[in-house]
Amino acid sequence: MKKFTLIISAIVITVASFAFVIENEKSFSAASAIFSEEPVLPGTPYAYSDITVPQSLEAPPNGGWGSVDPVTIDDAIASITDDGATLGRVLFYDEKLSASNDISCGSCHNQSFSFAEELQFSEGVSEATTRNSMHLNDIMWFSPNTMFWDAKQINLKESILLPLQNENETGVTDVDAMLHELSQTTYYPELFEKAFGDATVTEERVVSAIEQFLKSINSFNSKFDKVLEGEATFNTIEEEGRELFEQECVFCHPSSLGQLGIDFGFFPIVFDNGLDEVDEDPGMGEWMGDPQFNGHFKPPTLRNIQFTGPYMHDGRFNTLREVMDFYSDDVAPTEWGMIPEGGFDFTDHEKDALVAFLKTMSDQNVLLHPKWSDPFPESTDTHTPSIEGVKMFPNPMYEHSLINIDSWDGESINLSVVSMNGQVVFTDQFQSNQYVLGRNNLAAGNYVVRLQSDKGTKTLKLSVQ
C-alpha cells in the first residue's frame, strides 16, 4: 500500500511538473510572440522621396497661398531616402518602442484619421493624455520652431524624441535597453543596414528614420491643389467659402498648409484661439512663464482637416460645423484682438460655405496609400479572445505596479510573470478588478505579464528598473 501511494504521488508530481512545463512553454510562446512578429514589406521600397510639390505652393505667393522657397523644398525632399523612410515606417508602427509593448506612434496617430486620432484624448501607459492628438500630414512644411500644440519644441527630431521618452506616452525610460531589444529582432539589422550602411541601432538613427517617414506624408492631391494648378474649379459654395476664408481666417491660418514656412517674428505662429477661461491648459504660457500667453496654441495645418476630428487642442468639438458655430457665436474675449468680440457672426450659409471650402483641402491618398500603412500583420490567433480594458502602471516598475481591469465582472484571473528567456518567475491568482504586482525580487530587465481567465488572455510587457 505504501509502495502504491508512492507511485501515485510520483504520478501526481510528474503530471504537475508536466503541466508546469506546458504552462511555461505557453508563457514562453507568449513572450516570444511579442518579439517575433515581423513586418510585411515590399521587395522594392515605396518611393517615399518621389514628392512633387505643386508649383502654386512655391514662393513668391501665387494668389496669396504659396510661401515655400523652392530651395527649401529641394533640401527637405533630399533628406528623405526610400530605405530610410521604410525603416521609419516600421519603427512608427512597432510596439517595441514602448515599455508596455502595446503602444506605438501609430496608436495615437492613425492613418485612417490623417495620422490623428478619433478620441478626444489618447490612452497613455498609465493615464489619458492631456491634449488631443495632432495630425501629422504635411509636417515637413510646418513653420520652423513651432512643434506641438504649445510650440514648445523647435524641430521635428526633438518632437519625435520627446514622446519616446515620455513616461506616459510610451514609458521608455531605458533607451539603451529598447535599442538593444530592436537589435535582437530578425528584421531590424537588415533594415538599418539598408538605411544607414550598417546594422548598428542607435537613438539618432531611430529618430532620423521616423523623421524621414513623417516628412514623406503629403496631401498634394487635393481638389484645392488641382484648382490652384488650373486643373479643376471650385463650385459655387466652395468659392464663397474661399472668399470668406481669405477675409476672416488667413491671419491665423495664412496658407493652405497652415504655416507654410511663414514666420511672424514677434508672433511665433501661436495665437489665442478664443476658448473660454474654464480651460485649465495654459498652452504656450506654461513654458514661457508669461501669463499673457496663457491660452495661446499653434493653429494646425488645415490640410485633411475633414478627417482629423475631434478639434482644438482639447478635442472639445466633434465636427467642423461645431467649430464654425464656436467662432461665429461663442468666442471668449481675446487679449490680442485677433477675433471680433463675441465671434464672426456667420450665417448658417456662410458656415456651410467655410466647411465646404475646408473640405477641398482633403486628400484621401494619405488615408489609403499602403506606403504609410501599418506593416505589421494582425494576429492570426482568432480563437483566443483578449481580456479588454487592462492597464498596468507605473511601467517601468520600481517597487510595484498596479494592474487595472476595467472589464472585470467577477471571474478568477491567473497571473504569471515570465522572463525573456521563457522562465516563469512568479505566479498568482486573484479575483478583483485590481491587482498590486510587487517587485518580488525581480531583477532589472524586461518581463512578460500574462493574465488568463474564462474571458481570454492578455499579455503585457513589463520593464523593471
pLDDT tens readout for residues 136-148:
998 887 655 677 7
The per-residue pLDDT for 415 is 86
Q: Is the pTM of this model over 0.85?
A: no
CB neighbours of 70 closer than 8 A, spacing ≥ 6? 58, 59
Q: Which residue has the higher pLDDT, 80 or 382?
A: 80
Range 323-342 average pLDDT: 82
Beta bridge partners of 434: 404
Higher pLDDT, 123 or 415: 415
Partner residues linked to 462 by β-bridges:
447
Q: Check residues 258 and 108 and name the one with the higher pLDDT.
A: 108
Assess whether pLDDT exceeds 70 at residue 121: yes
**What SS3 class is residue 331?**
strand
279 against 396, higher pLDDT: 396
Of 52-61, 91-100, 175-184, which gets the smallest average pLDDT?
52-61
What domains does the chain contain, in order, with CATH numbers? 2-37+383-464 (2.60.40.3080), 55-220+367-372 (1.10.760.10), 227-363 (1.10.760.10)
Ranges 34-48, 177-191, 255-269: which has the least confidence = 255-269
pLDDT at 44 over 80: yes
Decide if 182 contacts 195 (C-beta within 8 A).
no
**266-281 pLDDT, tens per residue?**
333 556 677 765 557 8
Residue-wise pLDDT for 13-33, tens only, equals 333 333 433 344 344 444 444
Judge residue 285's burial from the number of C-beta atoms within 10 Å of its C-beta, 0-12 exposed, 13-18 middle, 19 or more buried: middle
The pLDDT score that the predictor gives to residue 154 is: 67
For residue 284, report the phi and psi dihedrals to the nearest 5 degrees: -60, -30
Higher-scoring residue by pLDDT: 210, 385: 210
d(CA 175, CA 177): 5
Dihedral sign, Cα of residue 56, residue 60, residue 61, residue 67:
positive
Q: Note the pLDDT of residue 366.
A: 94
Task: Please check the confidence at residue 178 and state whether its pLDDT lies above 70.
Answer: yes
Looking up cell 491648459 gives: 281
Percent of the chain with pLDDT over 90: 35
Whether pLDDT at 337 is above 70: no
In which band, very low, low, confident or very high, does the pLDDT at 454 lie, cut at 50, 70 and 90?
confident
The span from the CA of 457 to the CA of 442, in Å, is: 23
Whether the upstream peptide bond of residue 396 has omega within 30° of 0, thus cis, is yes
SS3 string, 153-203, reads ECCHHHHHHHHHHCCCCCCCCCHHHHHHHHHCCCCHHHHHHHHHCCCCCCH
Q: Which residues are registered as beta bridge partners of 441?
A: none
Per-residue pLDDT of 408-438, as tens digits, reads: 888 888 888 877 656 778 888 899 999 999 9
Q: Of 71-85, 200-214, 284-298, 312-326, which gets the smallest average pLDDT?
A: 284-298
- The label of the residue with cell 472639445 reads 316
Which whole-number Å values give the CA distances from 344 to 132, 212, 317, 334, 335, in the listed order?
Answer: 25, 40, 18, 13, 16
